[in-house]
Structure 1
Amino acid sequence: MSSPTPSPHRPATTTPPASPAGSAVDPSTEPSVEPRDDGVDDDQDALEEAGYREVPDADGGRAGRGWWDANAEEYLAEHGDFLGAADLCWCPEGLREADAHLLGDVVGARVLEIGAGAAQCSRWLAGQGAHAVATDVSGGMLAAGRRLDTAAGTSTALVQADARALPFADASFDVAFTAYGAIPFVPDAARVHAEVARVLRPGGRWVFAVTHPVRWAFPDDPGEGGLTATRSYFDRRPYVEIGRSGKVLYAEYHRTLGDHVAELVGAGFVLDRLVEPTWPEGHERTWGGWGPVRGARLPGTAIFVTHLPPGERGQ
């Protein structure tokens, strides 16, 4: 069956098949994909059911690690040319940080990337003079990042970590960001914001890109079929994929714009800008449900640019 998930992450050709708090990756070695402890091999657990339904938070929250471990190579094979080995692309619309400057001046800044995947963004930031650290819950994605480093002759700081339990001291970073990482894949994104607030210095900046919430109401179809709303924008049941074993293989969570703002304010952040990238003329690439047909009519990405007020500490 085709997947209705509104995520730009899932490789469009893929057959759908608690994280460690933080383990540093030695630049001289390749990260290993740690074995799962639930007795079920995601590669062998065939998809049985997909749709919008409630699942236990613990099951949905840990599904991402196994899914990304299993699909890292296919994801990069499909999207690696668009993302580049060292570039900060915010979204399927192709908005690059080199043009958008959403992070501000990063020269000499301590920058934390959440949900970094293969760390293309952090690798680019290091080339701009930032002291970047890339984190991801998936050892498989970080292993791919190390291979990119080897090919490029670079050495990116990689740390395996759950974004809800960052292994860093308070006020360790000047800037934190994620381009579609972590937030859509956990049931408790408020914990992500709280952790980012904790590790940011007062006055620090937090920028994150997610699927535009309005897209949740539309089918995951980049063509004309994706232009008619078929479900409620206010239906917050996650999109999940369940294996024959009953295990949650994949989970993605929806938050309205109001939900995102409430979570940010609750963590002590101030919203400075909400960026809704337009679909560029001549950009013909489709990525899951993202493409020029829908992109001309509906926003596909929301980028929240925020800061922690001076004197404020994470709540």
Structure 2
Amino acid sequence: MEAYDPSSSPNTVDEDSTATRRDADTTESARANRGWWDRNADEYQIEHGTFLGDDRFVWGPEGLDEVEAELLGPPEDLAGKDVLEIGAGAAQCSRWLAAQGARPVALDLSHRQLQHAQRIQDGSAIRVPLVEADAGVLPFRDGSFDLACSAYGALPFIADQVRVLREVHRVLRPGGRFVFSVTHPIRWAFPDEPGPEGLTVSASYFDRTPYVEQDDEGRAVYVEHHRTIGDRVRDVVAGGFRLVDLVEPEWPAWNTQEWGGWSPLRGNLIPGSAILVCERDDRA
């Protein structure tokens, strides 16, 4: 759920990197984002930990909670289900799932994020297995899980989205459901600003060029990949799923918090998140 500026051309992001739009392949994206999350995990958890909670399942900055949304199914039906959380961060969603009686596994690329997951677990009665791995090469046998989920985890940062979806398809059992949330594609056309300056279109929605922050030698230190809504649907189908629902959470009146470019002002006018509810397509 980190902020980015998709309209940059290049401008200074911090004293050590600049932002631009350029190609970034799977290897470069994985290396950059593993390093970025390891370096920034502490600050991220300090800034957003209260909002995310220790064992709460929040789908995005709007604050849509799985206990109300039931996108994985009614909470009472989660008991006994094997669930894979991809891009788990500090595993807040997995701990909520465990509290419902599910058997979650929390996977993340970042070692430091998983250290925060362990820190929280050390003070909690709820414990879940933590796995450090790339979402494009899942270290699980075929048909290991009933459900999979990802709340702003992994998918925005990976060049080959279909590869990830096919891996999720492989580790799910027949009929398994995968629900994932991402930045709403329309936001790529607007500056990543929470105020009025973020309400004017400044870039092409159809420009799929990745957003890259790079160091003085041109090495990527952070990468996000843009997909249009149509791209997302085609990726889901190519990955072996059928799209059951596409949820665009509205900004609730109770949420007064700004999160990067997400804000009450923008959230009441344009969608900030997209949640894709998919089921494994087992038709011949």
TM-score for both structures, normalised by structure 2: 0.93
- Count of residues in Structure 1 that have an aligned counterpart in Structure 2: 274
Selected match of 1:276 from 244, 248, 258: 248
Identity level (%): 54
| Counterpart selection for 2:59 from 90, 104, 122 | 90
1:62 and 1:256 map into 2 onto residues whose CA distance is 24
Q: CA deviation at 1:56?
A: 4.2
Letter in 1 for 2:91: A
Which position in structure 2 is the counterpart of 1:245? 217
**Structure 2 match to 1:55:** 24
AA partner of residue 47 (structure 1): D
Q: Distance in 2 between matches of 1:125 and 1:93?
A: 20
- Alignment partner, residue 9 of structure 2: none
Answer yes or no: is 1:177 the counterpart of 2:153: no
In 2, Cα distance between the equivalents of 1:131 and 1:48? Answer: 40
1:254 aligned to 220, 223, 226, which one? 226
* Whole-angstrom CA distance in 2 between matches of 1:82 and 1:148: 15
Partner of 2:50: 81
Offset at residue 133 of structure 1 (A): 0.3
AA aligned opposite 1:184? P
Deviation (angstroms), 1:112: 0.3
Q: Distance in 2 between matches of 1:134 and 1:306?
A: 19
Aligned residue number for residue 39 of structure 1:
none
2:165 equivalent to 1:196 = no
One-letter identity of the residue aligned with 1:90 = W
Q: State how far apart, in whole Å, the 1-side matches of 2:24 and 2:45 are.
A: 29
* 1:213 and 2:185 matched: yes
- 2: CA distance, partners of 1:131 / 1:258: 33
TM-score for both structures, normalised by structure 1 = 0.84
Per-residue CA deviations over 1:257-307 (Å, capped at 9, x if unaligned) read: 111111110111010000000000132100000000000100000000010
Q: State the superposition RMSD in angstroms.
A: 1.5
Aligned partners of 1:276 and 1:55: how far apart in 2? 28
Moved over 6 A (4+): none
- Aligned counterpart, 1:5: 5
Specify whether residues 175 and 57 from structure 1 end up closer, same or farther in structure 2 by C-alpha distance, changes over 3 A only.
closer
For residue 36 of structure 2, what is the aligned residue in structure 1? Answer: 67
Q: Does 1:146 align with 2:118?
A: yes
**Contact preservation (8 Å) 1:4, 1:51:** no
Verify the 8 A CA contact 2:98 2:126 in the aligned structure 1: no
Cα displacement string for residues 208-239 of structure 1 (whole angstroms, at most 9, x for unaligned residues): 00000011000001111111110000001111
Give how far 1:48 is off. Answer: 3.5
Distance in 2, Cα, partners of 1:206 & 1:63: 26
**Cα deviations by residue, 1:102-130 (Å, 9 ceiling, x for unpaired):** 00131110000000000000011000000
State the Cα deviation string for residues 165-185 of structure 1 (Å, max 9, x = none). 000000100000100000000
SS in 1 for 2:123: helix
CA distance in 1, matches of 2:79, 2:52: 22
- Confirm or deny that 1:99 pairs with 2:71: no
The amino acid across from 1:83 in the alignment is L
- Conservation of the 8 A alpha-carbon contact between 2:24 and 2:159: no
Q: What is the one-letter code of the residue matched to 1:65?
A: R
> Which runs of 5 or more residues in structure 2 are unaligned?
7-11
Q: Residue 113 of structure 1: SS of its match in structure 2?
A: strand
Could you tell me how far 1:153 is from its partner in structure 2?
3.3
State the SS of the aligned residue for 1:282.
Answer: coil
SS in 2 for 1:270: strand
Q: Does residue 131 of the first structure (1) align with residue 131 of the second (2)?
A: no
Give runs of aligned pairs for residues 231-242 of structure 1, distance below 5 A: 231-242=203-214
Does the 8 Å contact 1:178/1:209 carry over to 2?
A: yes
